[in-house]
Amino acid sequence: MTAAPAGQPFRQVALIGVGLIGSSMALAMRRFGLAERVVGCARSAETRAKALELGLCDEMFEDPAAAVSECDLVVLATPVGAYAAVAEAMQRSLAAGAIVTDVGSVKQAAIRDVGPFVPEGVHFVPGHPIAGTEQSGPEAGFAELFEQRYCLLTPPPGTDAEAVERVAWLWRSMGSTVDVLEPGHHDQVLAITSHLPHLIAYTIVHTAMGLEESTKQEAIKYSAGGFRDFTRIAASDPVMWRDVFLNNRESVLEMLQRFSEDLTALQRAIRWGEGEVLEDLFSRTREARRGVIEQHQAGSFDPREPKT
């Protein structure tokens, strides 16, 4: 099988994993006519049934090898810890000329785990859409998830340029801006912008949940003062995040070290009542928010409850 030509829809796409990201891709690919056929693969019968019921996929498979055999594009959209097993399972079924890509939140580990199983004549283009929510599963997806968001591609040296361009075209067609990054650099940047924020949010919610029962209940009742935002982030999928931390250990530990040093400095300023140090630091962080808003990456938070 040869891939469909540039700018043409893929003939058949396999989504390995149909959770938040996989289902959002299915919806966006259908909306924008980017694939003639979309098939999927999930472990559980429940997810497979749901994906069919929601019209996300034309056909669902339990076995990755069966899912990919007729496809010109395969998208790995499982937690990163499942990559090696999935890649090994589908290895012999991949069609010549097919492109394999992924959406995993860490990229060096993706290359390490998938690379060895990619046969000659198949192209692996690692990718990561910087878009998400705290929801997971096939019902969580929506077609606009990738609009106005960045998608990072991290092809190792020597990756087929045409394959990279095909994957870039897919993401652009779903509304994203595509940037190419070196995999190690990706993992470092994401350690500070995504992995550490999640780690911290999980920790602070954990700390609150460790307080005595009555205080813990009050923490939830009176959460509108800031805590609620952390509970949202800390409601993200436990397996996905376990795999992120296990697979981006070095960068996460490095950023955590810097963070801890900065926190210690602030702690000292509080202990010694150094008002100017606090005010000065709190003033400088506003710049970052202006940047996020200017870059249209802020999303929209409404402090009011959703109207029911």
Ligand X SMILES: NC(=O)c1ccc[n+]([C@@H]2O[C@H](COP(=O)([O-])OP(=O)(O)OC[C@H]3O[C@@H](n4cnc5c(N)ncnc54)[C@H](OP(=O)(O)O)[C@@H]3O)[C@@H](O)[C@H]2O)c1
Amino acid at 57: C
Q: How far is the CB of 298 from ligand X (least distance, A)?
A: 16
- Shortest separation between residue 254's beta carbon and ligand X, angstroms: 20
Instruction: Work out whether 85 is an interface residue with a second copy (CB under 8 A).
Output: no
CA 263 to the chain's CA centroid? 27
* Site for a second copy contains 82 (CB under 8 A): no
What's at 224, amino acid-wise? A
What is the torsion angle, in degrees rounded to the nearest 10, for the CA atoms of residue 234, residue 235, residue 239 and residue 245? -20
Name the one range near a second copy by CB under 8 A: 43-51, 66-74, 92-100, 205-213: 205-213
User: CB 6 → ligand X: shortest distance, Å?
Assistant: 26
Closest approach of ligand X to the CB of residue 192, in Å:
16
Q: Which is nearer to ligand X, 78 or 101 (CB)?
A: 78
> What are the φ and ψ backbone dihedral angles of 297, each rounded to 5 degrees?
-115, 15
Choose from a second copy, ligand X, none: what does 123 bind? Cβ within 5-8 Å by kind. none
The Cα 157–Cα 37 span in angstroms is 31
For 3, residues 6+ apart whose C-beta sits below 8 A from its C-beta are: 10, 72, 73, 97, 98, 99, 163, 166
CA 91 – CA 34 distance, rounded (Å): 24
The helix/strand/coil state of 182 is: coil
- Of 17 and 79, the one with the shorter C-beta distance to a second copy is 79
Least distance between ligand X and beta carbon 225 (Å): 7
Identify whether the C-beta of residue 32 lies closer than 8 Å to the C-beta of residue 176.
Answer: no
What does 230 interact with, of a second copy, ligand X, none (CB < 5 to 8 A by kind)? a second copy
- 244-273 mask for a second copy (x: CB under 8 A)? -xx--x--xx-xx-xxx-xx--xx--xx-x
Say what angle helices 196-209 and 238-247 make with each other, to 10 degrees: 130
Which partner in ligand X, a second copy, none is near 21 (CB below 5 to 8 A by kind)?
ligand X
Binding region for ligand X (CB under 6 A): 17-22, 42-44, 47, 77-80, 82, 86, 103-105, 128-129, 132, 136-137, 237, 240, 244
Q: Residue 177 is inside which H or E element, if any?
A: strand 177-180
With 0-12 CB in 10 A as exposed, 13-18 as middle and 19+ as buried, what is 184? middle
Backbone angles phi, psi at 211, to 5 degrees: -75, 170
Q: How many whole angstroms separate alpha carbon 86 and alpha carbon 117?
A: 9
Distance separating alpha carbons of residues 145 and 20, to the nearest angstrom: 9
Q: Is 84 in the site for a second copy (CB under 8 A)?
A: no
Which of 8, 147, 161, 180 touches a second copy (CB under 8 A)?
147
Give the binding-site size for a second copy (rule: CB under 8 A).
Answer: 107
Is 285 a residue that touches a second copy (CB under 8 A)? yes
Per the rule left: phi > 0, alpha: psi between -120 and 50, beta: everything else, 175 is: left
47 binds, among ligand X, a second copy, none (CB under 5 to 8 A by kind): ligand X
Out of 58, 70, 88, 134, which residue is the one contacting a second copy (CB under 8 A)?
Answer: 134
Sole window of 41-49, 61-69, 110-118, 300-308 interacting with a second copy (rule: CB under 8 A): 300-308
Give the separation between CA 146 and CA 132, rounded to whole angstroms.
8
Q: Among a second copy, ligand X, none, what does residue 86 contact (CB within 5–8 Å per kind)?
A: ligand X
Residue 116 in contact with a second copy, rule: CB under 8 A? no
Min CB(82)–ligand X separation in Å: 3
